[in-house]
Amino acid sequence: MKRQFPIAIALTVMLLAVGWGTGTQEKPALPAAAAQAIPRARAATGGYRLVEVRGEVQLMRAGERNSRPVTGNMELYPGDLLKVARGATATVLCASNGQTWTLPDGLSGVTNGCPPENPINPQLPQTRGQVDQSSPYIISPRQTALLNNRPKLRWNQVGGDSSYTVLIRGEDGMRWEKTVRAAEISYSGSPLKSGVTYQLIVQSGSGEGDSQEYATFWLLDEQTARTVRDRAVALSQQPWSEEEKAMATADLYRAHNLIAEAIETLEALKGKTATVKRMLGELYEWVGLAPQAQRHYSQVMGRSGDRPLGIGHAGIAWIATTRDIAVFSWMKHTPETR
């Protein structure tokens, strides 16, 4: 997918006007239709295809000790890595929406330029339109699928000696609540279930006027989760560098809407390269965490402002808000932007 710089400039101006992320609001109710709106992850069995290749492009795949040259029309899988030599070209057909994207020089996961299967459904409760850095906005899990049924919950640390009321509730009537002083806690209630949309709510302080934030998440179904775990284990056993294994695993997770796991995998790397920082920026951008996305983008570009916020490597553009709720639009994927 080719980037359109005039569009990027216009969208950057729009972003300055409408803002990003989440702000405080009243505690929302879970809609009755949320159960039917949970994204169903595609099994990790391919569906991506290399539709064009020119020059030297190498494939790194779990189960294969050495990289090998690619061929046109080759089927690709989440977790595959492609090495594109300088001056070469590789174009991948996305499984999720039938669009294509052209890989940059260097190392990339095959799904990096594709939206996750079933992006966040607009019927689900959404985060609001501005990240208020003085509020306990949710960092993780945030608009993501999960593998772990006892996740670690993290949010923005607000100034002062503040306590936090942390609540998880599900549309099935489940409710779990704790009060803590740190900006993270591990969920310790009954194991969460697949097929249920959960809402994480964090409120700072205990009096009127205190700040409250929320985000939604869900668990992968058991069969898909088992498939993803098995493939992640296979990737971890490859004779690759730690960075290559982490990138391949994050690519696998991203393809199944496991954004929190993808971020955690890449954040655990030491001495992150520009490629890893770019991937992290894109993942944070996808879930609406502009401060974290900007931090990684600015490190890649050398100074803040070189990388227009809102235009991810996958072509994600945050170009409108409705009642302060961020609305996704894919460049060249809708009649308005083709």
Residues in the chain: 338
Give SS3 for 231: helix
Q: Is 116 strand, coil or helix?
A: coil
Q: How far apart are CA 305 and CA 294, in angstroms?
A: 8
Residue 16: predicted pLDDT = 34
What's the confidence (pLDDT) of residue 330?
28
Residue 304 is predicted with a pLDDT of 39
Amino acid 107: pLDDT: 92
pLDDT of residue 211: 74
Give the global pTM.
Answer: 0.71
The per-residue pLDDT for 268 is 96
- Please give the chain's pLDDT, 338 residues, in tens: 333 333 333 333 333 333 333 333 333 333 332 222 223 333 334 578 898 999 999 999 988 888 999 988 899 988 999 999 999 999 998 876 778 889 999 999 988 888 776 554 434 444 444 578 888 999 999 999 999 999 999 999 987 767 999 999 998 899 999 999 999 999 999 999 999 999 999 998 755 556 788 899 999 999 999 999 999 999 999 999 999 999 999 999 999 999 999 999 999 999 899 999 989 998 998 899 999 999 998 887 654 343 444 334 333 333 222 222 222 322 223 333 32
Asked whether 165 and 200 are in contact (CB, 8 A), the reply is: no
Q: What string of DSSP letters covers 190-221? A: SPP-TT--EEEEEEESSSTT--EEEEEEEEPP
CA triple 233-83-56, angle to 5 deg: 140
The phi and psi torsions of 16 (rounded to 5 degrees) equal -65, -30
pLDDT of residue 65: 82
The strand order across the sheet containing 212-219 reads 144-146, 212-219, 198-204, 164-170, 175-180
